[in-house]
């Protein structure tokens, strides 16, 4: 329809008028309501994004809040050892104090190595990638259909490895290693020997070998020069704990009373291992929370109190064409100011967070208020409730009774005894849910949140109004085209009359 009308447009040929400009000016006036709709849409889009930006900051704060609910945040342990042969790590539940550990034997894995080089000619060693039957082994090559051996790491187990005609030494040893049998094997070219060893330390067959050759063992004994007697059996680690208890372990580590001891070498006498609270780590985590909380408080308060310049509407594309990039930037800075000014859901969320932080916690421990561990609110009203930390007092509280600090922050109960971080988590999540209802999340459709529904309504209004504008513009052109045709006819009649009078 539009195309047919456009093809009939006459641009002032008869009247001499600039019809294009006249219609353009008329349509500019007609578009005023459309411009307002587009400005409303831009404003709502900005506001939605501003809400989501606040929600993102709250989510980041909530991540720290969850960490602050963990006992390890307040009871991180550090360890030291008097001997390099013993190191240790301690869980949050480990008791602080000094432990002694005397390591009399390390855990080792069983190992068997070829007694001599397996190549017949040491100057022209076998090719581990060549077919077994074509290699010159010192003891000859006996290639059975299967290799069979027994291990004891999961109780007594017998394992079989199928040997194929095209197998090489390397492929056979790889089959041994890849099978789930607790054994690995490889050929060392430099020494011309095969190594067959357990993958785990420990003595799993006391008094006997841990890799026992079965059946046709000629490949092991003759071709690979491995002897049963040549196995060096695995050993358990043996150690004396606190000078009183002699214990063993299949590995070179053991965990006792929340402390994991790692054995690197046999000790000279007993090593002293000291476990203490890592106050620095706890302070760093608490300070990270405080810094993020203050950042969020400043950001949200700034948004709530940001001035709104109602004379600065979002720019339309047509308006931007007549402005420089700098002018657009300065204009939109004013236009975007006050997007969240006075939003009650945000001010209510800040109030709930402050209440959660400042209210007393009746948890039966030594500390029931933040001020007792050196954390209080700023006395400067311009800070709008930011937290100030006395690090010395906080360190003293953590050294004196880290468990009470943990209870103050993380007591998991309802009512007056609910820990500060649980209250904070409740307040943050409630605010984020309200924001989500209003502004949605990235993957939600417009129908799933309030601003989205309004945006969709505006989009529909814009579409309808654009159709209306097309109809109005077509009407103007039809009217001007009709006028041009009438003037053309009049001109033709006038010309005819003039010809008659002059004839």
Q: What is the pLDDT along the chain (503 residues), one digit of tens a residue?
A: 344 444 445 565 556 677 788 877 787 788 888 888 888 899 999 999 999 999 999 999 999 999 999 888 888 889 999 999 999 999 888 888 999 999 999 999 999 999 999 999 988 999 999 999 899 999 988 788 899 999 998 899 999 999 998 999 999 999 999 999 999 999 999 999 999 999 999 999 999 999 999 877 889 999 999 999 999 999 999 999 999 999 999 999 999 999 999 999 999 999 999 998 889 999 999 999 999 999 999 999 999 999 999 999 999 888 888 899 999 999 999 999 999 999 999 999 999 999 999 999 998 889 999 999 999 998 887 778 899 999 999 999 998 888 899 999 999 889 999 999 999 999 999 999 999 999 998 888 888 889 989 999 998 988 898 888 888 888 888 888 888 788 888 877 887 778 777 75
Domain ranges of the chain: 24-72+281-451, 77-107+237-277, 111-232
The tally of CA atoms less than 13 A away on the side-chain side of residue 436 is 13
3-state secondary structure 43-63: HHHHHHHHHHHHHHHHHHHHH
Residues in CB range of 264: below 8 A, 6 or more apart? 84, 85, 86, 87, 252
Residues in CB range of 293: below 8 A, 6 or more apart? 61, 353, 386, 387
- Could you give the strand order of the β-sheet that contains 193-198, starting from the edge strand earlier in sequence? 111-113, 193-198, 183-188
Residue 260 DSSP class: E
Reference 249, options 258, 257, 260; nearest CA is: 260
For the purposes of burial, counting CB atoms within 10 Å of the CB of 428, is it exposed (0-12), middle (13-18) or buried (19 or more)? buried
Q: Which two tokens stand for residue 185?
A: 């094997």
Cβ atoms of residues 239 and 101 within 8 Å: yes
pTM for this model (two decimals)? 0.66
From residue 234, give the alpha-carbon distance in Å to each of 107, 207, 213, 417.
7, 10, 17, 55
From residue 399, give the alpha-carbon distance in Å to each of 75, 278, 365, 387, 430.
10, 9, 15, 21, 35
Element (H, E) at 149: strand 146-151
- Three-state secondary structure call for residue 202: coil
Residues in CB range of 443: below 8 A, 6 or more apart? none
């Amino acid at each position: 329809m539009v195309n047919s009308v456009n093809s009939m447009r006459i641009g002032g040929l008869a009247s001499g008028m600039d019809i294009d400009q006249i219609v353009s000016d008329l349509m500019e006036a007609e578009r005023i309501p459309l411009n307002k709709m587009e400005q409303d849409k831009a404003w709502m889009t900005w506001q939605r994004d501003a809400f989501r930006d606040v929600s993102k900051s709250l989510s980041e704060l909530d991540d720290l809040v969850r960490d602050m609910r963990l006992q390890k945040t307040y009871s991180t342990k550090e360890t030291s050892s008097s001997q390099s042969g013993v190191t240790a790590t301690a869980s949050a539940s480990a008791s602080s104090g000094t432990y002694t550990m005397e390591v009399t034997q390390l855990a080792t894995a069983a190992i068997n190595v070829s007694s001599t080089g397996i190549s017949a000619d040491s100057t022209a060693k076998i090719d581990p990638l060549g077919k077994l039957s074509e290699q010159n082994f010192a003891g000859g090559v006996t290639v059975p259909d299967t290799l069979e051996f027994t291990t004891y790491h999961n109780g007594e187990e017998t394992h079989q490895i199928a040997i194929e005609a095209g197998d090489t030494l390397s492929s056979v040893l790889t089959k041994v290693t890849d099978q789930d049998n607790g054994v690995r094997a490889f050929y060392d070219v430099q020494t011309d020997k095969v190594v067959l060893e357990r993958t785990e330390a420990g003595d799993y067959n006391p008094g006997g070998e841990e890799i026992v050759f079965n059946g046709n063992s000629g490949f092991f004994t003759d071709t690979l020069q491995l002897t049963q007697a040549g196995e060096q059996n695995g050993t358990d680690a043996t150690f004396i704990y606190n000078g009183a208890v002699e214990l063993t372990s299949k590995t070179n580590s053991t965990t006792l009373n929340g402390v994991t001891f790692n054995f690197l070498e046999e000790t000279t006498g007993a090593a002293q291992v000291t476990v203490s609270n890592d106050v620095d780590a706890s302070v760093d985590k608490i300070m990270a929370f405080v810094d993020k909380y203050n950042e969020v408080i400043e950001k949200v308060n700034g948004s709530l109190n940001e001035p709104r310049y109602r004379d600065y509407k979002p720019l339309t594309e047509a308006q931007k064409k007549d402005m420089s990039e700098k002018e657009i930037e300065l204009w939109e800075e004013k236009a975007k100011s006050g997007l969240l000014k006075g939003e009650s859901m945000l001010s209510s969320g800040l109030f709930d967070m402050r209440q959660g932080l400042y209210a007393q916690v009746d948890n039966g421990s030594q500390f029931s208020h933040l001020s007792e561990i050196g954390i209080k609110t700023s006395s400067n009203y311009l800070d709008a409730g930011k937290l100030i930390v006395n690090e010395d007092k906080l360190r003293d509280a953590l050294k004196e009774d880290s468990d009470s600090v943990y209870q103050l922050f993380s007591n998991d109960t309802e009512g007056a005894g609910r820990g500060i971080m649980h209250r904070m988590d409740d307040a943050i999540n409630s605010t984020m849910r309200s924001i989500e209802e209003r502004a949605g999340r990235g993957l939600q459709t417009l129908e799933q949140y309030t601003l989205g529904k309004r945006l969709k309504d505006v989009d529909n209004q814009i579409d309808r109004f654009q159709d209306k504008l097309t109809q109005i513009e077509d009407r103007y052109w039809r009217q001007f085209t009709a006028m041009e045709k009438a003037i053309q006819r009049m001109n033709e009649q006038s010309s005819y009359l003039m010809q008659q009078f002059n004839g």
